[in-house]
Every structure is written in structure tokens, then in C-alpha cells.
Amino acid sequence: MIKKLALALVLAASVPLTTETSVTATEDYPVRKIWGKGTAACPEKSICLYQDSNYNEDSHEGRGRWIWVVTGPTARIPGGNDEASSLHANLEGTPWETAAFCEDTNFQGGTLLYLVDGASRPNLKRVGGHQVNLNDMISSVNLLAGDWRRPCSA
């Protein structure tokens, strides 16, 4: 009888209350939104997706704009889908070495680009030697360590 009671208590403690789920979508993903500009505004152990090019430095508001701060593989960016215009990787101190940015949610749609720790992309409208436009396309972010393949499924 005591054992059954103890088990019931453990089960009750491990099951989240239904009223606490889905308060905000961001609680389900390791991503949060902050207001700011510049790569220095990117918190430690994070990938930062900036709403504007040049890390929000050119925003008319003067103080910056939104930055989505990713702290783990995130299948969705609530409120920030297809919004990123510049990127910064600040992964030092994490198990991850590289971020892969996917065109669709749930790590689908293929890999738009990679970013290693410490790297930045100031303008996703013109990326790489071919000046590819990847602006406002990123929908999920996978974080990778060591040997890896196919970070975003095609």
C-alpha cells in the first residue's frame, strides 16, 4: 500500500499539469527573443539570428531590433520564422561546433548554410562567392558536434 502511494506520488510529480503547457510556444523550443543590436549583444553559448542585416546595427529605431537567441537544436523559431537577416555564432563552452540553418521547420528543406563557432554573416541577402540570397528563409536550426551528416533533411 505504501509502495503504491509512493509510486502514485512519483507519477504525479513527473506529469506536467495540463494547465501549464502551451502557455507560450517559445517554452517548447530552446529559443528566446531579445531586443538589441551588434554581435556583442549575442549571449554566451548561443546562436543569434538578427531581424535585420548588419546585426540590427542599421535599424531606424536606434536601439536595435529583435534577436532570436538559440541555445540548442530548435525545430521551430516561434515568432521568428523566415525572419533572420544576419547571424552570429557564439558557441564557445557548448558541446556544439557548428550550426546548420534549415529552410523548413523540423530540420527539413535542406541546409541553407553552416556557421562555425565565432563566425558571422552580416547580410543574408548576399552570402558567399555566388551572393546567394538566404534572407528571411531560416525556419529551424540544428547544432552539431564532431562527425555529422545531413543536418537538415532535403
Of residues 44 and 82, the one with the C-beta less far from Ca ion: 82
Q: Which of residues 98-127 bind Ca ion (CB under 5 A)?
A: 103
Provide the minimum distance between the beta carbon of 153 and Ca ion in the complex, in angstroms, as a whole number. Answer: 14
Q: Which of residues 23-62 bind Ca ion (CB under 5 A)?
A: none
Of residues 84 and 91, the one with the C-beta less far from Ca ion: 84
- Among the listed ranges 23-31, 77-85, 89-97, 115-123, the one in contact with Ca ion (CB under 5 A) is 77-85
Number of residue whose CB is nearest Ca ion: 139
Residue 154 and residue 81: Cα distance in Å, rounded?
A: 18
| Residue 92 engages Ca ion in binding (rule: CB under 5 A) | no
Q: Which of residues 132-151 bind Ca ion (CB under 5 A)?
A: 137, 139
Of residues 139 and 142, the one with the C-beta less far from Ca ion: 139
Provide the minimum distance between the beta carbon of 55 and Ca ion in the complex, in angstroms, as a whole number. Answer: 20
Residue 66 to residues 18, 52, 58, 96, 110: CA-CA distances in angstroms? 30, 8, 13, 24, 25
Number of chain positions touching Ca ion (CB under 5 A): 4
| Residue 82 engages Ca ion in binding (rule: CB under 5 A) | yes
Buried b (16+ CB within 10 A) or exposed e, 108-134: ebebbbebeeeeebbbbeebeeeeeeb
Residue 146 to residues 96, 97, 149: CA-CA distances in angstroms? 8, 7, 10
Residues paired with 99 in a beta bridge: 115, 143
Could you list the residues that contact Ca ion (CB under 5 A)?
82, 103, 137, 139
